[in-house]
Chain A
């Protein structure tokens, strides 16, 4: 099936300015500059585009809120921090389709009336940074951004900001802090960036993949876009598969595609011919699904109904012969080390959970230990400035429910049931 972002399959090299132009690139922008910004917001809303960074917030709504905020100037931020372990989609887009991403950014800036856009890109992505830098030079000499773009009166400056490589640095308010020259610490919300964002002004922070969807939507229309996906999750999404499958990589699929298709047809199944013990549709922060749910559709509603989430599409498989307690320790250690440390509740929760799991691993605390996980999570629910505090809960609670035998073996014998 043809894709939205990868119409000719996953690109293997960098698409240059001329190649992009030859397949219709920048036509969406040329068309848009002849219309009013509100039309862009309308078409993106009609298309049902939702953010691809993990939260799935409607993009048209975010842009409308930003545009309607009274303060000036306004800013658009392309969020390419991409620090979810295993996520590769933004990197592929930035490296190989820099003009698609850039055109989406310029369209977004036009829609919200931003005079400056920041491209926030993972500092470790050397090739992506170079690719985007070159694209900026090409687009500028062609007059696609700068002063009075295409004679429309629209002015836009664009600046690249390298993103520090820690997990919370991808949270939208932490992104804003970094661009302001501060530490990557999330801010308390509200106020939301759409009203009080970068330098205190209205700001729309959009994921790379989200913005890459905008040129095809504007060029080909909302009805065309809605041919892909489901009513509530329109379009396609790029999923990242890693070393736990036979064919790791990125795969663009329409929302609503069964999870089984991604794992078996795209990924070539789990590595080593093992049976699947659990599936994590949005690693590392979603609930585990049991293998019976492999036919769940890859869209926001279906995943929620199945008890998990879609996140930013990093699908992880746990094979038979893997102890879930050991898997959880890796996850809990990750969140404990990535907690930025400014919110006491998050610090306490993430460090306690990691320590408790290590006690379970060592066979200490007995079965009453299992009850403590839910209590710690419930106590800290809703606390903390950002969502990190809510992330260790779904994997831990789902694992306790789905794989009690693994916990029991550790707690009663002090030995791992597998290793």
Chain B
């Protein structure tokens, strides 16, 4: 299964620049030569105050309050680098709920 990088595009995340993040992320992934990752918009993860939110699936890494300056570290992670711990701030019960939803194919 190809890996996906879900970027929330609901009102809050959008107002905090998630559209720009999506474009930049796509460019950086392409520049890095990572071929098996698709960047996709997502409707809402329910963590609007913590946005912009990006979830990597199926590996299940959730990055919150992502800024353009964080993207290089996220791309590094996608290329096999370390988990970006400083962006991993979301409550585990919400994570579990969303991951279960993603497991049923809702994306």
Contacts and interface: CB of A to CB of B under 8 A. Distances in A.
A7 interface: no
B91 to A, nearest CB: 11
B97 interface: yes
Contacts of B104: 356, 359, 364-366, 368-369, 372
A347 B101 CA distance: 16
A321 B18 CA distance: 44
A293 B12 CA distance: 44
A366 B100 CA distance: 13
Given A344-B12, A379-B94, A359 B46 contact: no
Nearest to A369: B104
Contacts of B48: 344, 347-348
B103 interface: yes
A129 to B, nearest CB: 32
A376 interface: yes
B100 A351 contact: no
Contact of B105 (A344, A345, A364, A375): A364
A344 B47 contact: yes
B92 interface: no
A341 interface: yes
Contacts of B97: 375-376, 379
A365 B106 CA distance: 8
Interface string B71-91: 000000000000000000000
Interface in A379-409: 379-380
Interface in B1-55: 10-12, 43-49
A182 B18 CA distance: 28
Residue in A341, A344, A351, A372 with the greatest tally of chain B CB atoms within 10 Å: A344
The size bracket of the interface on B is: 10 to 19
A341 B105 CA distance: 24
Residue in B12, B100, B103, B104 with the greatest tally of chain A CB atoms within 10 Å: B104
A355 interface: yes
A362 to B, nearest CB: 9
Nearest to B103: A368
A359 B11 contact: no
Contacts of A347: 10-11, 44, 46, 48
A368 B43 CA distance: 21
Interface in A311-364: 341, 344-345, 347-349, 351-352, 355-356, 359, 364
Interface residues of A, number: 21
Contacts of B46: 344-345, 347-349, 352, 379-380
Given A348-B44, A372-B101, A341 B106 contact: no
B98 to A, nearest CB: 9
B101 A348 contact: no
A372 to B, nearest CB: 6
A345 B97 CA distance: 13
A367 to B, nearest CB: 10
Interface in A223-244: none
Nearest to A367: B104
Nearest to A360: B104
Contacts of A349: 46
Nearest to B96: A375
Contacts of B45: 348
Contacts of B94: 379
Nearest to B44: A348
Contact of A356 (B10, B49, B101, B103): B101
A354 to B, nearest CB: 9
| Shortest Cβ-Cβ A-B pairs, 4 listed | A348-B46, A344-B48, A365-B104, A348-B44
Interface of A: 341, 344-345, 347-349, 351-352, 355-356, 359, 364-366, 368-369, 372, 375-376, 379-380
13 contacts: A347-B10, A348-B10, A348-B46, A348-B48, A351-B10, A352-B46, A355-B106, A356-B101, A365-B105, A369-B105, A372-B100, A372-B101, A379-B93
